[in-house]
C-alpha cells in the first residue's frame, strides 16, 4: 500500500514537473482561422474573441494569428477588433473572394507557419468550451498523433463526441485541430482548390495512413448550422470527384473498408 501511494505521488510529481517545464518554455503559438465572413459575421467575431481569450488564459503565452477572410470590406473591422488584445503579437489578415480552400491555400502567410511550434487550425463557427492545451500536447507526443481534435459538440458524426479520454481515428471531421508545422503542411497537401468545401478528405486519413485522434478532455462547440453559401449537392459532387482519385466510388465504400475508430484509450 505504501509502495502504491509513493508510486502515485511520484507519478503526479513527474506530471507536474512536465507541465512546469512545458509552461516555462517559450513556445510560439499560431491561431489559424480557416475562413471568416458573412453571414453571421458579428457572431463569428464574438466567437473568435472568446476563443482567443480562452487560449490565452489556458496557455499564458502571447501568440499570433492568421486570418483568412473572403470579404475585403471586413479587413479593417477585424484588425480594429483584435488590436485591443494585448496578448496578440502579430495579426496577419489575408482577404480573397472564394470558399475555404480557394482562400486559405492561396494565403501568402502560410509560409510563416514553419516558424511556430503549434498551430490551432479552426473554423470560424467553432467555440472553445474547455481547453487543456498542455495535456493535449503531452497526448499528441505520447501517441504520435498528427491531427489532434478536441471533442466536438454538434458535429455531423457522433464519433467526434460520444467517447471519453482519447480515440485514435481513421475518420476525423476538421473543425479544430492542434498541429505542428509539419502536420499543417501535410494537411494542406491533402486539399485542393477544386474541392473547395473540403468534403471527403476527412474520410481518407486512414487511407493516407495519417494518425489522427480526438482528445475528449478538451471540448469545442460547432455553433452554427451550415451556411447558406454551402450547396450540399455541389459539395458532395466535388467530394465524390475527389475520392474517385483514390479508387473509391462513394463514401459507403470507404466506410466498408475503414472503421471511424481504430482504438479507444482510457486514462
Q: Tell me what the mean pLDDT of segment 224-238 comes to.
A: 82
Share of the chain above pLDDT 70, in %: 89
Q: Tell me the per-residue pLDDT of 27-78, one tens digit each, with 9 for 90 and over.
A: 999 999 999 999 999 999 999 999 999 999 999 999 999 999 999 999 999 9
Q: Model-level pTM?
A: 0.90
Task: Identify the band that residue 171 occupies on the pLDDT scale cut at 50, 70 and 90.
Answer: very high
CA distance 16 to 30: 25
Question: H-type helices in 25-159, by residue range?
Answer: 41-59, 75-83, 101-104, 133-142
Q: Tell me the per-residue pLDDT of 78-95, one tens digit each, with 9 for 90 and over.
A: 999 999 999 999 999 999
CA distance 84 to 100: 27
Q: Are 198 and 174 in contact (CB under 8 A)?
A: yes
**Domain coordinates of the chain in residue numbers?**
27-265
Look at residue 100 in the predicted model and tell me its pLDDT. Answer: 97
Q: Which CATH superfamily is domain 27-265 in?
A: Spore Coat Polysaccharide Biosynthesis Protein SpsA; Chain A (3.90.550.10)
Q: Are 109 and 115 in contact (CB under 8 A)?
A: no
Look at residue 26 in the predicted model and tell me its pLDDT. Answer: 79
Q: If you write DSSP's letter for every residue of 107-141 in order, what string do you get?
A: -GGGGGGGG-SEEEEE-TTEEEEE--HHHHHHHHH
Look at residue 3 in the predicted model and tell me its pLDDT. Answer: 47
229, pLDDT greater than 70: no
β partners of residue 220: 128, 152
Task: Identify the band that residue 231 occupies on the pLDDT scale cut at 50, 70 and 90.
Answer: confident
Look at residue 176 in the predicted model and tell me its pLDDT. Answer: 98
Cell of 73: 470590406
Amino acid at each position: 500500500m505504501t509502495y502504491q501511494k509513493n508510486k502515485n505521488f511520484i507519478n503526479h510529481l513527474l506530471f507536474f514537473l512536465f507541465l512546469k517545464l512545458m509552461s516555462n518554455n517559450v513556445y510560439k503559438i499560431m491561431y489559424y482561422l480557416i475562413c471568416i465572413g458573412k453571414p453571421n459575421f458579428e457572431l463569428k467575431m464574438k466567437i473568435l474573441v472568446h476563443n482567443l481569450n480562452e487560449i490565452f488564459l489556458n496557455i499564458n503565452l502571447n501568440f499570433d494569428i492568421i486570418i483568412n477572410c473572403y470579404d475585403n470590406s471586413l479587413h479593417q473591422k477585424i484588425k480594429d477588433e483584435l488590436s485591443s488584445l494585448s496578448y496578440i503579437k502579430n495579426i496577419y489578415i489575408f482577404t480573397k473572394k472564394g470558399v475555404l480552400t480557394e482562400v486559405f491555400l492561396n494565403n501568402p502567410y502560410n509560409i510563416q507557419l514553419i516558424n511556430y511550434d503549434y498551430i490551432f487550425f479552426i473554423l470560424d463557427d467553432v467555440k472553445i468550451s474547455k481547453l487543456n492545451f498542455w495535456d493535449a500536447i503531452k497526448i499528441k507526443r505520447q501517441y504520435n498523433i498528427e491531427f489532434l481534435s478536441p471533442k466536438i459538440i454538434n458535429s455531423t458524426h457522433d464519433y467526434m463526441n460520444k467517447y471519453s479520454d482519447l480515440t485514435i481515428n481513421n475518420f476525423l471531421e476538421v473543425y479544430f485541430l492542434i498541429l505542428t508545422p509539419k502536420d499543417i503542411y501535410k494537411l494542406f497537401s491533402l486539399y485542393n482548390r477544386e474541392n473547395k468545401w473540403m468534403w471527403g478528405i476527412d474520410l481518407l486519413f486512414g487511407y493516407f495512413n495519417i494518425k489522427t485522434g480526438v482528445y475528449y478532455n478538451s471540448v469545442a462547440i460547432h455553433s452554427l448550422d451550415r451556411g447558406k453559401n454551402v450547396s450540399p449537392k455541389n459539395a458532395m459532387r466535388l467530394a465524390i470527384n475527389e475520392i474517385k482519385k483514390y479508387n473509391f466510388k462513394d463514401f459507403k465504400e470507404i466506410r466498408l473498408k475503414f472503421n471511424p475508430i481504430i482504438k479507444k484509450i482510457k486514462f
